[in-house]
Amino acid sequence: MFQFTSGQGWQIGRIFGIPIVIHVSWLLVFAFVTWTLATAYLPAALPGQSGPRYWAMGGMAALLLFLSVLLHELGHCWVALRYHVPIGQITLFVFGGVAHMKKEPPTPKAEFLIAIAGPIVSFGLGAACLGFGIVNDLAGLRPDLHGLTVLGWLLGTVNLQIGLFNLIPGFPLDGGRALRAGLWAWSKDFYAATRRSAVAGLAFGVLLSCLGGSLMLGAGLHLLEASLITTGMWVAMIGLFLFATAKGTRQQAVFRETLARVTVSELVTPSVISVPAALTIESAVKGYFLPHGFSGFPVMEQDRLVGMVTVQDLQRLPQTLWPWREVRNVMRPWSAEMEIAAGASALHALEQMGMASLDRLIVRQDGRIVGVLTRSAVWRYLNLRTQGRSSSTVDPPQAA
Ligand SMILES: [Zn+2]
């Protein structure tokens, strides 16, 4: 299970309420797998068929392979949901699939079970498909069913490979997550466990890249079979990808640890300026947004907090209507997720902003509003604190 930054994709449906998204890169690998199966694998395994039949079977097998990947991810999701870890979406992309968990698992045990659920599904599917292939082979089924036997062997082998590959103990692969769960349970330090298992991910990334490179070199020099060039290329690419994601994970762990150790009260902008709900938008712009320079304000009505209004909320309304509409018409009405206690951690605040799609929270202390915490104030702090620890400026951490 990889971490994956979002990109272009199409949602093809929902399972357990989770959107299933196909990334553009998936189309490339789908075409590549179909082509390999139709032109090389199937003609060798199942001789004497017509070209179009190979292509049709190749396409079907490629679809079933991706269904296998989807089932692997759904295995993770099923356990994650039982532990109340929300899943943003499942993405299928060039290197397989990823389930985006919206927060970290609550305990090492939960993390371990979520991590191994995927490989367990893959091993189960692999055993079932191989079993089907073996039984068919032994029973000497009718030759017209031989195609199904070949498919059983193919799907069985690939599912076992998916299960085994994901057990490599380097974060963010499933094995690396299981490793983190173990380190976490042992050291009681989630962040140190994340950093260590990400270092293992870096190491396996380098190892796979070298292995892939050697395969390509060996095949290029005719020391190995020529077909190993493609295998080597895939292994090297996966190695590089693992290295890059593990590096990102390690950096994220540093950021998250930094934010977990600072409280909201240390980063709050002590602005208790609020906008009256009955004010026209025109007056709010002239009297609050322009002079104070903030891009959002709490909205009050008779000393009661009733919502929050931001520049984006104003922009949704044509300017010609600004003198005629009141702040209450465009504000986001109050909800519990708009507020955070001054004593909460900045990490908690950031996660709350992510879940509620807000870029500021109203900070309360002893029942009183003491100011606003903005996303940019959190970034600023992170940039100051992590300077020198990373070569570039800080990118917004993802919600797990
Ligand atoms: Zn997985």
Burial degree of 117 (CB within 10 A; 0-12, 13-18, 19+): buried
For residue 239, how far is its CA from the centre of ligand 1 (angstroms)? 16
Sign, Cα dihedral of 253, 255, 257, 259: negative
Of residues 144 and 303, which shows the higher confidence score? 303
Quote the pLDDT of residue 7: 56
pLDDT at 106 over 50: yes
pLDDT of residue 341: 93
**How remote is the CA of residue 72 from the centroid of ligand 1, in Å?**
6
Cα–Cα distance measured from residue 395 to residue 270, given in angstroms and rounded to the nearest whole number: 25
Task: Catalogue the active-site residues.
Answer: 73
Residue 176 has pLDDT above 70, yes or no: yes
Mean per-residue pLDDT of the chain: 85
For residue 172, whether the previous peptide bond is cis, meaning omega lies within 30 degrees of 0, is yes
Which residues carry a binding-site annotation?
72, 76, 174
What is the Å distance from ligand 1's center to 126 Cα? 15
> How is the beta sheet containing 360-365 ordered, strand by strand?
339-341, 360-365, 368-374
Residue 249 pLDDT > 50? yes
pLDDT of 20-45, one tens digit each? Answer: 888 888 888 888 888 888 887 788 87
- Output the pLDDT for position 141: 60
pLDDT at 400: 34
**Among the ranges given (109-123, 216-230, 386-400), the one the predictor scored with the smallest mean pLDDT:** 386-400
Residue 127 pLDDT: 94
pLDDT of residue 140: 66
Q: What residues flank ion ligand 1 with Cβ within 5 A?
A: 1, 118, 166, 174
- Cα–ligand 1 centroid distance for 246 (angstroms): 15
Q: Phi and psi dihedrals of 30, rounded to 5?
A: -65, -45
Give the percent of the chain with pLDDT over 70: 93
CB–CB of 100/87 below 8 Å?
Answer: yes
Query: Are the C-beta atoms of 114 and 79 separated by less than 8 Å?
Result: yes
**pLDDT the model gives residue 397:** 44
234-247: pLDDT as tens digits: 889 889 988 998 88
Q: Which residue has the higher pLDDT, 49 or 205?
A: 205
* CATH topology (fold) of 264-386: CBS-domain (3.10.580)
Of the chain, the percentage scoring pLDDT greater than 90 comes to 31
Binding site members for Zn(2+): 72, 76, 174
Across 158-179, average pLDDT? 90
Nearest in space to 340 (alpha carbons), one of 308, 384, 380, 302: 308
Q: What b/e sequence results for 171-186 when a residue is b if at least 16 CB atoms lie within 10 Å of its CB, and e otherwise?
A: bbbbbbbbbbbbbbee
The per-residue pLDDT for range 63-98, each reduced to its tens digit, is: 898 899 999 999 999 999 999 988 888 888 877 788
Distance from residue 58's CA to the centre of ligand 1 (Å): 25
What pLDDT, in 10s, does the model give residues 183-229? 999 999 888 898 899 999 999 999 999 999 999 898 888 887 777 88
Residue 2 reports pLDDT greater than 70? no
Kindly indicate the confidence band of residue 389, based on its pLDDT and cuts at 50, 70 and 90: low
Residue 399 pLDDT > 80: no
> How remote is the CA of residue 70 from the centroid of ligand 1, in Å?
10
Cα–Cα distance between 146 and 57 in angstroms, integer?
12
